[in-house]
Homo-oligomer: A and B are copies of this chain.
Amino acid sequence: MTEKKRTTIILFSGDYDKAMAAYIIANGAAAYDHEVTIFHTFWGLNALRKDEPLELKKGFLEKMFSKMMPRGADKMALSKMNFAGMGPKMIKHVIKKHNAMPLPQLIEMAQEQEIKLVACTMTMDLLGLQQEELLDNIEYAGVAAYLADAQEGNVNLFI
């Protein structure tokens, strides 16, 4: 059987803990010689945002989305027990204590391991996100590119 080892993850969620899970699985799979893609769509795009604010021309609703959505991995909230921001602080504290990696480092590691990080162009349009706002070395594609990767492997997750 010649099926390639391939892991393709759709990261839909904008939660810190879910994005951590996605990147831990992705980094693990890359270490075991899978070809790995993380396709960021909807709120998952926030994990790819740069930290600094940019002055970009945007419509009113797009500006509102930009303001309200977390600017980058480090600003994301927890899916459970967020407690107005206390939860992420607790998680980051235990991550440090146990020598685990916080999300921004997991993303760096993914880029070093040549995991393909894709931003969904259709939802970037909807949420008014522009390429200047996202990290460097990201690919831009749509559902067709996702399917092309996903159908070649069998570890396909929606997170």
Contacts and interface: CB of A to CB of B under 8 A. Distances in A.
A57 interface: no
Given A1-B1, A28-B143, A95 B126 contact: yes
A6 B142 CA distance: 19
B68 A34 contact: no
Size band of the A side of the interface?
35 or more
Given A68-B81, A157-B157, A61 B94 contact: yes
How many copies of this chain does one complex carry?
3
Interface in A122-159: 122, 125-128, 142-144, 146-147, 150-151, 153-159
Interface in A78-102: 79-81, 90-91, 93-95, 97-98, 100
Interface of A: 1-3, 5, 7, 10, 12, 14, 17-18, 21, 24-25, 28-29, 32, 34, 41-43, 59, 61-62, 64-65, 68-69, 79-81, 90-91, 93-95, 97-98, 100, 122, 125-128, 142-144, 146-147, 150-151, 153-159
